[in-house]
Amino acid sequence: MTGKARTSSAEAQAASAEAQAASAGPRAASAGPRAASAGPRTSAAEARTASAQARTPSAQVRPTLASVARAAAVSHQTVSNVINAPHLVRDETRRRVEAVIAETGYRPLKAAQTLRTRRSHLIAVIIPAPGEWRGELHNAFLHALTRRAQKSGYRVLLFTAADDNEEINAYDQLLGDYTLDAFVLTGTHSGDRRTSWLRRKRIPFVTFGRPWGSTAGHPWADVDGAYGDRIATEHLIAAGHRRVAFLGWPEGSDVGDDRRAGWQQACAAAGLPPEGQPRLDMEDDLAQGRAACARLLDAAEPPTAFVCTSDTIALGAWTEITSRGLIPGTDAAVIGFDDSSAAAAVGLTSVAQPLDEVADACIVALSKLLSPSRRNPPYDRVLLKPRLVLRGSA
């Protein structure tokens, strides 16, 4: 096996190996077992190749399918098969090619793959402006998604947009030049134009958030907010609280209504008098949360516990409580939502969303969507349970 010995001795270093193999090309080929059949055609072709290689004497060249093939004395398609359809290749050949791949560190160029297959392994996600859609949560989600995606061979591409319409434009732009595999949307809401647009265009996507109002038609993953505030409320009731207030967003927000329902269910299930459970609506703002808390504390029969739709509001309540010289968790309980870093910092009990699981579900759903197996369930719909992170405040 002269040819084989030659190739194996040629490597050791990726770059030099390639140069060596190139210059040794024709000889190795003629020494191979298939020498008789090769004939003049091959030598002509390889002469061209050799001269082309000679033009780049010692430059750091990236290995390609062709260069790997040359070094392993097979055709480039066989190398491709080793990677994409190993069962087509004889074991011995496969091992030989795999050795060259390992030595040269060959990796297929995405751009070429994308051009050919129309798959880029790129998924696009919006990055909201700071302050929008509770930035910290989205950031954590982005991180989880990126991590999970890269484990599955996908990468996350960012884009920005100020509102849904701009976001749809952004989709169009992105699809215009990049060959995206899919989108991941966040913050779905009733009558979401983005999902209908994407569906009309038959573009694969998943949403973090249920298709509020409409019935699916696309895969999604979401966190059960009602469950979250139900266990929060149950926790408070179990601790002896009988007047459990709810500080939340105004009615009409899908997520807010869902969470409030959980509080209501828990109160009802425990047989707490409905009129004894005060509730105030407000925007997602610390000052408003604080004011609302103050108002309730000053009422005739003040609540002893506050369930809040967000950590922002909860921190407002927490601030009001401490500023009165009361101790959160002892004198008045507070529970927030989202388990933000601020909550952790001050010791606020909060409902944590399992973002890793959400990201996981998103990628799994996308994989199914993009894989050709067509007897999968039509769409993944995953509703995950949040968990209560107990700290001092409740």
List residues near DNA by CB under 7 A. 34, 37, 41-42, 52, 62, 64-66, 73-78, 80-81, 83-84, 88-90, 92-94, 106-109, 112-113, 115-117
56 is a site residue for its own copies (CB under 8 A) = no
Which DSSP letter does residue 166 get? H
114: contact with its own copies by CB under 8 A: yes
The C-alpha angle 332, 336, 339, rounded to 5 degrees, equals 130
Residue closer to its own copies by CB (options 119, 385) is 119
Structure token digits, residue 238: 């179990």
Determine if 292 is a binding residue for its own copies (CB under 8 A): no
Nearest Cα neighbor of 380 from 172, 182, 176, 159 is: 182
Which tokens belong to 374? Answer: 């067509």
Question: DSSP 3-state assignment of 349?
Answer: strand
Question: Among the candidate windows 94-102, 170-178, 262-270, 294-302, which touches its own copies by CB under 8 A?
Answer: 170-178
Please report how close the Cβ of residue 75 comes to DNA at its closest, in angstroms: 3
- The answer to whether the CB of 145 falls within 8 A of the CB of 125 is yes
Residue 59 sits in the site that holds its own copies (CB under 8 A): no
Residues 6+ apart with CB under 8 A from 148: 356, 359, 360, 362, 363
Out of 105, 191, 252, 276, the residue judged to bind its own copies by CB under 8 A:
105
User: For 216-242, b where at least 16 C-beta lie within 10 A, e where not — what string?
Assistant: eebbbbbbbbbbbbbbbbbbbbeeebe
DSSP-derived 3-state class of residue 230: helix
Minimal distance, residue 240 CB to its own copies, in Å = 26
Residues from 327 through 356 that contact its own copies (CB under 8 A): 341-342, 345-346
- 110 binds its own copies, rule: CB under 8 A: yes
Cβ-contact 171, 197 below 8 angstroms: yes
Closest CA to 223 of 127, 337, 313: 337
- Least Å distance between CB 246 and its own copies? 21
Binding at 84: pick from its own copies, DNA, none (beta carbon under 5-8 Å per type): DNA
Which is closer to DNA, CB of 25 or CB of 289? 25
Site membership for its own copies, residue 319 (CB under 8 A): yes
Residues binding its own copies (CB under 8 A): 105, 107-112, 114-115, 120, 122, 127-131, 135-136, 139-140, 142-143, 146-147, 150, 155-160, 174, 176-179, 285-287, 312, 315, 319, 322-323, 341-342, 345-346
